[in-house]
Chain A
Amino acid sequence: DAGVTQSPTHLIKTRGQQVTLRCSPKSGHDTVSWYQQALGQGPQFIFQYYEEEERQRGNFPDRFSGHQFPNYSSELNVNALLLGDSALYLCASSFGTLNSPLHFGNGTRLTVT
């Protein structure tokens, strides 16, 4: 049973460019949450998707947007990249209820130069 998979593993982009990160949730999960983890910090919540809509959002600018597809997979898009967007981006999935624990992927390391 595959867990949460994220692609790509690493990515290097130039300031001002746009990037798309992808996440496939664990089998049976329908909810995807995205986090940004800067070096030496704890993860920060970006947003959550279920039923193909953004349901919760953290304190991130509109440059950060997302999408969830009918198969529950999700994308995180970041426009007009800044140097400060360099971080590990983590995807977590869960199912249905509040008691369903989060399962995290191994993340995508984004470097903006």
Chain B
Amino acid sequence: AQTVTQSQPEMSVQEAETVTLSCTYDTSESNYYLFWYKQPPSRQMILVIRQEAYKQQNATENRFSVNFQKAAKSFSLKISDSQLGDTAMYFCAFMKPHVRQGNLIFGKGTKLSVKP
């Protein structure tokens, strides 16, 4: 069975600084998908970034980038130029390939606070 571990329950960062959130996972699959989701107090899960395991290049989305280390089964999220609106719970998630997206395995989350 696949597992996702986020070892940092809480983190804080000063506005405009850079922060890295850690995620490790365990799987015997060779192809899979990894995600970072953000959950603000509104409770809605919002996709931040997605990585396909067969792609060597690390995914980036504006201020968000990942460091994907397949051999180490590590998938960290770097947030650059942190903004107050980045304050939220961040969840790392794993998914085996299927016909459609849906069966995601989530970690327990990291609570990120961005301080002014």
Q: What is the interface of chain A, defined by CB distance below 8 A to chain B?
A: 31, 33, 35, 40-45, 48, 50, 55-56, 58, 88, 90, 92, 94, 96-98, 100-102, 104-107
Contacts and interface: CB of A to CB of B under 8 A. Distances in A.
| A-B pairs with lowest CB-CB distance, top 3 | A42-B106, A33-B102, A48-B102
B102 A94 contact: yes
B60 to A, nearest CB: 16
Contacts of B46: 104
Given A42-B91, A42-B107, A50 B100 contact: yes
A101 B102 contact: no
B28 interface: no
Contacts of A40: 108
A14 B114 CA distance: 39
A40 B46 CA distance: 17
Nearest to B33: A98
Interface stretch (B11-19, B37-45, B65-73, B77-85): B37-45
Of B42, B46, B93, B106, chain A has the most CB atoms within 10 Å of the CB of B106
Contacts of A100: 100-101
Contacts of B106: 42-44
Contacts, number: 71
B101 A106 contact: no
Given A92-B45, A92-B102, A101-B50, 10 more contacts: A33-B103, A42-B93, A44-B106, A48-B100, A56-B98, A58-B103, A94-B101, A98-B101, A102-B102, A104-B44
Nearest to A50: B100
B89 to A, nearest CB: 9
B11 to A, nearest CB: 16
Contact of A106 (B44, B91, B99, B107): B44
A41 B108 contact: yes
Contacts of B103: 33, 45, 48, 56, 58
B100 A97 contact: yes
B113 to A, nearest CB: 16
Of B43, B44, B97, B101, chain A has the most CB atoms within 10 Å of the CB of B101
